[in-house]
Structure 1
Amino acid sequence: MLSRENFSLRAVPVVDISESVGLVWDSPESIAFLLVYRAPRAPADSLSQLLETVSEWSLRFPRLVVLGDFNVHADTDSCSAAAMDLVSTMETLGLLLCSTGPTHQAGHTLDLIFSAGIQVTQASIIEVPWSDHCALRVRLEHAYPPGKGTKPIWARPRRLMEPSRFRNALKDLEPVSDSIDVQVDTWNIRLSNALDEISPRRPLQPHRNRSPWFTEELRSMKRKKRRLEGVWRELHDRASRSAYRAFMESYEHATIKAKRVYYASLIASTSSRPAKLFKIIRSLTTVPTNPKSDDQAPSAEAFQSYFADKISLLRRDLPATIDTRRELETPWPLAGPTLDRFIPLDAEAVDRHIAAARLTTCSLDPCPSWLVKSCLEGLRDPLLKIINSSLEQGIFPEGLKEAVVSPLLKKPDLDRSVPSSYRPVSNLSFLGKVIERAVAEQLQQFLDNTAGLNRFQSGFCAGHGTETVLVTITDHLRCQLDQGGSVLLVLLDLTAAFDTVDHNLLTHRLAIVGVRGTALNWLASFLHNRGQRVERGGLVSERSPLLCGVPQGAILFPLLFNIYMRPLAQLVRGFGLECYQYADDTQLMLKMEVRPDSVPDNFYQCLKAVTGWLCASRLWVNPAKTEILWLG
C-alpha cells in the first residue's frame, strides 16, 4: 500500500490470513484498512477464516475498509454462491459492498471493496496494461484536519550564484587594520554584501530530492513512456497496448541498470573509506520507514540547557578530593625540541588547504564554501593575510569561536520528545577550519618528528583506523595464548570524554610535549572563550559558553584530544601493561606467562592509578560499560 508522507499510517498484525496487510490511518477519526489477497485455489475454509478476522477487526475499528482480490465471482448477473455468502456475511458485520463492475479481463468481478462507518463513493474502474486486473478508484468521505502546508524556505537561489558575478560584486577586501578580529569582520561583511547583491534571500518552495541515479536518458524514456500511455488510453486497441507494455519493460530494465551502474561506481569509489562505505551499504539494505514529524522534539533552548547541564553534572560528580594543581605545577622540560611558532603560509599552501577542505557550509559563513573555492583567485590575498596574521599574533579570531549545534536523533525508534535521544553535532565556520588546517599540519609534523603520541593510538591518525587497533589487539592476544600464557584485558568506557576536557590541563600538556611561545598562545586562544548556539526548526537559542571540552567538528579536535590522553599510555606502561587507544576508547592488557592463582598486584595498582589519573583529568569512567576479560 502506498500513501502520502503526511498520512500517519501504522501497520497492524493480521493473524490467520497469510497474504494480507493491516493498516490504521491515525487521524482524529482513525480508519483501519484490511488489504486481502485470496489465491485462486485457496482452501475451502479460507473464506471462513477471512470472515472471522473481519469480524474481529469490525469490533476493534468502527471505521473499517476491507478491500482486495477475493477471487470470487461477484458479478451482477451471475453471482456465485461463495460470493453471495461473502457479501451477506459482510452486511451482517456492518460492511457494505461498493458496487463497481467487472474488474478482470475475463469479465468477472473479483476485486471488491467493503466499508463500515465511512462513505465510499465515485467508484470507477481503470484499465491498466501491466495486469489482467483493473485498478479501482474510489472516494472516501472522511474529515481530515487541514495540513500545515509547505512552508517556504528563505534561501538564496544557487543558479544566481555565478562565480564571475560574485567576483565583480566584491568590493575592496584589503585589510583596514592589523587586528585579526577586524580583518575577519571585514571579510564576513564584504562577502555577505556581495552575495546579497547577486543572490538576495527569497522565499523558495522546497523541492523533492531527486534520485542521483536518474539520468537524462531515463528522463527522456519516461516522457516517451507517458506519450505511449496517452496513445493507448485514447485508442484502447491491442497494438497501442502492446507497444506501451513493451516500452514499459524496456524502461524498467534501463532503470535497474542505471541504479546498478550508479551504486557500483559509488561503492568502488569508497572502497578505501570504510565509514562512508558502510553508510552506503546500510542505506541500500535498510527498509525505509515513514518519516516521523519533529513536532514533538524539544525546543532549541531546551536542547541548549540539556547539553550544558549534562556536562556540568558530570564534572560536579567527579571526586572532590582530586586536585589538578599538582600536575599544573609540574615544570616544563628544559631540554628537547620545541614548537615556538607557526610558520606563515604562502599562496601555494593556502591553495592546498582550500582544496583539501570539505564543501560544508555553516549558517555562520557569509557565503557558501564552494563559492569561496570557485573565486579563490580573487580571495587568495585577503585570505592569506588573515591566516598569517592569526599565526603571527598567536590569536584565534573571536568571531570564529562560535559553533552552531544541530541535535541529531541517535536511533529512529527513540522518543523524539526526550533531549537524551539526540546527540549534538557542531558546525563551524569555513574560514576557521581553513586556519585550523594550517595549524594542524604543522602541529602534526612536529609530533611525528618527536614521537609525541602513543604508538598504539589509532584514533584520528593517518594510516590508522578501527581495523588497526582491532587487528593489533587480536594479534597480541593470539600470540600470547599460543605461547601458553594468559591475558587480562580491560576495556575502559568514558562518558562524554570529548566534552569534559579541562582547558588548563590541555594547555599544560601541550607545553609538556614541546609547544611553547606564540604557538602555545595560539592554541590557548583557540580553546578559551568559545561558545555555541543550538539551531532547531528555524529557531536559534541564546549563546552558551563552553568552559571545557574540545570543539567537536573542529579540524584540531582529534589531535588535541590525542595529546590530552598521551600521559595515560606512559602511566600504564609503568606498571608493565600495554595501552591501546582509539580516541577515547582505551584498552589495558596485562600479559602473563602462566595463569596465576590470583590477579597480580600490579594489575590492581594500575587500575587504581588509571582511575585517579582519569579523575584528575576531569574524565568520567562509566562502570556499567567498562569490562574485564581474562583469557588463557
Structure 2
Amino acid sequence: MKRQCRKAERMWRKTKLEIHYSIYKDSLRAFNVELGKARQSFFSNLINSNLNNTRTLFATVERLTNPPSQIASEMLSDSKCNEFASFFSEKINNIRKAISTSPSYAEVRQIRPQYQKEDTMSAFEEIDSKILEEIVQHLKSSTCYLDTLPTYFFKRVLNCLEADLLEVVNASLLSGTFPDSLKTAVVKPLLKKSNLDNTILSNYRPISNLPFIGKIIEKVVFNQLNKYLNSNGYLDNFQSGFRPHHSTETALIKIINDIRLNSESGKISVLVLLDLSAAFDTVDHNILLERLENWVGLSGMVIKWFRSYLEGRGYYVSIGEHKSKWTSMTCGVPQGSILAPLLFSLYMLPLSQIMRKNQIAYHSYADDTQIYLALSPNDYSPIDSLCQCIDEINSWMC
C-alpha cells in the first residue's frame, strides 16, 4: 500500500491535476487507516503479552500518551516561551520599520476605487437558532487551550447552550463589538522542517489558535460580508485565494493558458513572481479599516464591529505546560481566524488598479501575485511599462 501511495503521489506532483490529487489523497487515507490498524494491533499484543511486566507496561503507556516532541527539551520553560513571543513580535516590527515613508510616492498610496457603489453595508442581520446550529456543526472541531469545553463536547451539548450562545452572537452583531475575552490567541511554535535545528528560534513558525466561540461569531460575520461583497462585485476577479471553486490549480491554469495563447500568437511572455514576507502579520489596521469603509462601503455598526475586532488583540506562546507573558498585537489580521484571508484580500484591492493602469496582466493567490505581459519579437517597449508597474507596486507596498 505504501508503494501504491507513493506512486499516486509522484503522479500528482508530476501532473498537478486535481483528479490525481484526489487519487493520491484516497490512497493516503487508505494507507493511514491500515497503518492505524497495524499500530493498534501491535500495541494491543504488546500490552496483553506484558500484563505482568509493569516496567514494559508503563513504558508502553508513556510512549502512547506522551509522544516525543519536535521541540528541544531546553525549550520547555516559561523563559523560552517569552523568548519565542519576543522573537515572533520583533520579526514583524522589524519588517514594519523597514517600510519606507518616502513622500515621493504619495500619488501611488492615494489610489481610490475607480468604481463607486450606492449600496453600503451598515448593519448585520440577527441570526436564528437554525443558522447558529448549522454554523457550529460545520466548523472544524479543533479545540483551543482557552476553551472552557472541548469543541467536540460543545457540539454535543449545543442544545443546552444554544439560547445563551445565540444571545452572545446577536449582541456582538447589534452592538458592533467583539468580546475582549475572545481576542487572545494561543501560539504554539512548530518546527518548519523536521531536519532543522530545534534549538534555533528562527527555525520555528507560529501556529495560532483562537477560542471556538469567537470563530462562531466570525463565521456569522463572514457569511453576511461575503454575500454582500459578491452581490456587489467588490472582490477581485483575479484573486483565487480562499474562494469557493478557486484554487492554486485554477490560478495556474489561467496563467499557463495565457502564456500558451501568447506563444501561439508568436509573442514572448515575461513573467514576474511576487512574494511577500509575513504579509498577513504586517497589515496596518488603520489602512485596512479605510479599505473596508471607502473601497467596499462598510459603515455604521459594521465598521464599528471590525474596528472592535481588530483592536486590543494579543497572544501568548504555549509549549507544553509552560507559557509566555501576554503580548500585544498592534498590526496584522488574526492568524488562525476565519476572517483573516478575506480581510487580507480586501486590503490588497488597490494592487489590481496599479496593474490595470500599466496594462499588465496579473493573477493572485492570497499573498502570491504573478504579473506578466506579452512582447512582440521586435518590440521590447512594453518592458518599460512592466518596470514602471513593479516600481509602483514596490512603492505602494511600502
- Listed as ranges, the matches of 1:295-314 within 5 Å are 295-297=73-75, 299-314=80-95
Structure 1 residue 601 displacement after superposition: 2.2
Note if 1:341 corresponds to 2:123.
Answer: yes
Aligned twin of 1:161: none
Separation in 2, partners of 1:213, 1:421: 34
Cα separation, partners in 2 of 1:324 and 1:430, compared to 1, 3 Å: farther
Separation in 2, partners of 1:527, 1:544: 15
Q: Higher helix fraction: Structure 1 or Structure 2?
A: 2
Of 385, 391, 394, the residue aligned with 1:602 is: 385
Note if 1:412 corresponds to 2:209.
Answer: no
Note if 1:444 corresponds to 2:226.
Answer: yes
Aligned identity (percent) is: 37
Is the Cα–Cα contact under 8 Å of residues 113 and 350 in structure 2 kept in the other structure? no
Is the Cα–Cα contact under 8 Å of residues 568 and 610 in structure 1 kept in the other structure? yes
Structure 1 residue 389 displacement after superposition: 0.3
Alpha-carbon displacement from aligned partner over 1:485-534 (angstroms, at most 9, x marks no partner): 11121101211111100000000101121111111111111111111101
Separation in 2, partners of 1:358, 1:292: 25
Matched residue type, 1:354: V
Aligned twin of 1:504: 286
Is the Cα–Cα contact under 8 Å of residues 87 and 201 in structure 2 kept in the other structure? yes
Separation in 2, partners of 1:428, 1:515: 25
- Listed as ranges, the matches of 1:103-114 within 5 Å are none
Aligned twin of 2:375: 592
Cα separation, partners in 2 of 1:391 and 1:597, compared to 1, 3 Å: closer
Separation in 1, partners of 2:81, 2:395: 37
Aligned twin of 2:247: 465
Is the Cα–Cα contact under 8 Å of residues 396 and 526 in structure 1 kept in the other structure? yes
Is the Cα–Cα contact under 8 Å of residues 395 and 521 in structure 1 kept in the other structure? yes
Cα separation, partners in 2 of 1:569 and 1:419, compared to 1, 3 Å: same
Alpha-carbon displacement from aligned partner over 1:452-475 (angstroms, at most 9, x marks no partner): 111111111111111111111111
Separation in 2, partners of 1:483, 1:521: 52
Structure 1 residue 431 displacement after superposition: 0.2
- Listed as ranges, the matches of 1:397-436 within 5 Å are 397-436=179-218
Separation in 2, partners of 1:317, 1:221: 57
Counting matched residue pairs gives: 342
Aligned twin of 1:294: 72
Separation in 1, partners of 2:223, 2:170: 14
Is the Cα–Cα contact under 8 Å of residues 499 and 550 in structure 1 kept in the other structure? yes
Separation in 2, partners of 1:582, 1:331: 21
Of 505, 515, 518, the residue aligned with 2:301 is: 518
SS of the residue corresponding to residue 301 of structure 1 reads helix
Cα separation, partners in 2 of 1:332 and 1:504, compared to 1, 3 Å: farther
Larger Cα-atom Rg: 1
Note if 1:374 corresponds to 2:198.
Answer: no
Separation in 1, partners of 2:263, 2:341: 34
Separation in 1, partners of 2:183, 2:114: 28
Note if 1:212 corresponds to 2:36.
Answer: yes
Note if 1:365 corresponds to 2:143.
Answer: no
SS of the residue corresponding to residue 396 of structure 1 reads coil
Separation in 2, partners of 1:553, 1:596: 47
Of 559, 562, 567, the residue aligned with 2:342 is: 559
Separation in 1, partners of 2:103, 2:204: 31
Aligned twin of 1:276: none
Matched residue type, 2:84: F
Matched residue type, 2:350: P
For normalisation by structure 2, the TM-score amounts to 0.80
Q: Greater relative contact order: 1 or 2 (C-alpha under 8 angstroms, separation 6 or more)?
A: 2
Structure 1 residue 213 displacement after superposition: 2.2
Is the Cα–Cα contact under 8 Å of residues 111 and 350 in structure 2 kept in the other structure? no
- Listed as ranges, the matches of 1:381-392 within 5 Å are 381-392=163-174
Structure 1 residue 445 displacement after superposition: 0.7
Separation in 1, partners of 2:188, 2:49: 42
Structure 2 residues not aligned, in runs of 5+: 1-33, 51-67
Structure 1 residue 296 displacement after superposition: 3.7
Is the Cα–Cα contact under 8 Å of residues 498 and 549 in structure 1 kept in the other structure? yes
Note if 1:485 corresponds to 2:263.
Answer: no
Note if 1:572 corresponds to 2:355.
Answer: yes
Is the Cα–Cα contact under 8 Å of residues 132 and 166 in structure 2 kept in the other structure? yes
Structure 1 residues not aligned, in runs of 5+: 1-209, 228-289, 616-632
- Listed as ranges, the matches of 1:22-41 within 5 Å are none
Cα separation, partners in 2 of 1:483 and 1:320, compared to 1, 3 Å: same
Structure 1 residue 292 displacement after superposition: 5.9
Note if 1:548 corresponds to 2:331.
Answer: yes
Matched residue type, 1:577: I
TM-align CA RMSD: 2.8
Is the Cα–Cα contact under 8 Å of residues 71 and 198 in structure 2 kept in the other structure? no
**Deviates most, 302-311 or 529-538:** 529-538
SS of the residue corresponding to residue 244 of structure 2 reads coil
Is the Cα–Cα contact under 8 Å of residues 297 and 418 in structure 1 kept in the other structure? no
Of 331, 334, 355, the residue aligned with 2:137 is: 355
Separation in 2, partners of 1:428, 1:469: 30
Cα separation, partners in 2 of 1:419 and 1:595, compared to 1, 3 Å: farther
Alpha-carbon displacement from aligned partner over 1:250-294 (angstroms, at most 9, x marks no partner): xxxxxxxxxxxxxxxxxxxxxxxxxxxxxxxxxxxxxxxx97662
- Listed as ranges, the matches of 1:97-176 within 5 Å are none
Separation in 2, partners of 1:329, 1:576: 16
Cα separation, partners in 2 of 1:319 and 1:349, compared to 1, 3 Å: same
Separation in 2, partners of 1:292, 1:402: 25
Separation in 2, partners of 1:398, 1:364: 13
Note if 1:474 corresponds to 2:256.
Answer: yes
Separation in 1, partners of 2:241, 2:43: 48
Cα separation, partners in 2 of 1:322 and 1:385, compared to 1, 3 Å: farther
Stretches of 4+ aligned residues off by more than 2 angstroms: 210-216, 218-223, 290-293, 322-336, 591-601
Structure 1 residue 363 displacement after superposition: 0.9
